[in-house]
Amino acid sequence: MHLLTRIQRHLRRTGTPPTRFGREVVGDPRFVADLRNGREVRSSTEARVHAWLDRHEGHAQ
């Protein structure tokens, strides 16, 4: 699943503001907004975000 799609589903399901998500997960409150505007991330950052989502969604991919 595309990273931004997965993040947006998580945000909708949990009601978490995008700025809070970015700050907690990667230390950047603009992370989600930047992704929405076309920002590309390193594979290591993408893996870190997927791992965080796996832990908080209670499953592993």
% of the chain with per-residue pLDDT over 70 = 93
Residues 6+ apart with CB under 8 A from 37: none
- Number of residues written out for the chain: 61
Residues 6+ apart with CB under 8 A from 56: 10
Crossing angle (nearest 10°) for helices 3-14 and 18-26: 120
Asked if 21 and 27 count as a contact pair (C-beta separation under 8 A), the reply is no
Average pLDDT of the chain, as a whole number: 93
> pLDDT band for position 34 (50/70/90)?
very high
Is the full-model pTM beyond 0.75?
yes
> pLDDT band for position 58 (50/70/90)?
confident
CA distances from 61 to 2, 32, 46 (A): 13, 21, 13
